Chain A
Amino acid sequence: MVELNNLDLDALKELGNIGAGHAATSLSKLLGRTISMSVPEIRVVRIPELSKIIDAEKIVSGTITAFKDPLCKGEGYLYVMFLGDTPKKLISVLCNSDDFGEYELSALLEVGNIISSSFCGAMADFLEVEIIPAPPSLAQDYALAVIDAVVSRLAESNDYVFLFEVMLRDEHDLLETYIVLIPDIAFFENVVKMLKRKVWSI
Chain B
Amino acid sequence: MTEILVGIGEYKIGKKPIILKAIGLGSCVGVAFYDPVLKIGGLAHIMLPGRSDNGCARFAEDAINKMLREMEKLGVKKDRIIAKMAGGAQVFKFITIDTLKIGDRNVKSIEEHLKKLGIKVVARDVGGNKGRSMLFDTSDGSVVVKYSNGDVVWI
Residues of A that sit less than 8 Å from B by CB: 47-52, 54, 56-57, 59, 64, 66, 105-106, 109, 134-153, 155-156
Contact = CB atoms under 8 A, between A and B. Distances in A.
Contacts of A48: 7-10
B99 A148 contact: no
A57 B95 contact: no
A47 B7 CA distance: 8
Counting from the closest, the 3 A-B pairs by CB-CB distance are: A144-B24, A145-B131, A48-B7
Interface of A is mostly: helix
A112 B94 CA distance: 12
A156 B130 CA distance: 24
- Chain B interface SS verdict (over half): loop
A152 B47 contact: yes
B132 interface: yes
A148 B26 contact: yes
10 contacts: A47-B47, A47-B58, A50-B7, A51-B45, A56-B24, A64-B92, A64-B97, A142-B26, A144-B131, A151-B8
B104 to A, nearest CB: 11
Contacts of A134: 96-97
Given A148-B25, A155-B9, A139 B92 contact: yes
A137 B100 CA distance: 9
Nearest to A135: B96
B23 interface: yes
